[in-house]
């Protein structure tokens, strides 16, 4: 296999696998928050604040995977 092909494949795997976990996590967080708001509408503000914070942390992991993929493409 050519070195360029291996480099592109490794970058694709890095971002592909690195985005699966945060994607599932964000989906679970959203579903749980909507369920919690449905059960206790008075706590909407606190639930949404915590949900947005947790989604931001999960999204940061996907951004790290993107950075690794870009580094693999341009540096390796």
The answer to whether 8 and 73 are in contact (CB under 8 A) is yes
Cα torsion 8, 13, 15, 20 to 10°: value is: 160
**Structural domain range at position 13:** 3-74
Q: Whole-model pTM? A: 0.82
pLDDT (tens digit per residue) in 20-46: 999 999 999 999 999 999 999 999 999
Tell me the pLDDT band of 52, cut-offs 50, 70 and 90: very high
Residue 8: CATH number of its domain: 1.20.20.10
Count of domains observed in the chain: 1
């Amino acid at each position: 296999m050519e070195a360029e092909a291996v480099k592109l494949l490794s970058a694709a795997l890095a971002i592909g696998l690195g985005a699966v976990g945060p994607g599932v996590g964000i989906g679970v967080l959203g579903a749980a928050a909507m369920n919690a708001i449905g059960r206790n509408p008075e706590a909407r503000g606190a639930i949404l604040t915590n949900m947005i914070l947790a989604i931001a942390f999960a999204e940061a992991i996907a951004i790290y995977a993107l950075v690794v993929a870009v580094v693999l493409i341009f540096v390796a």
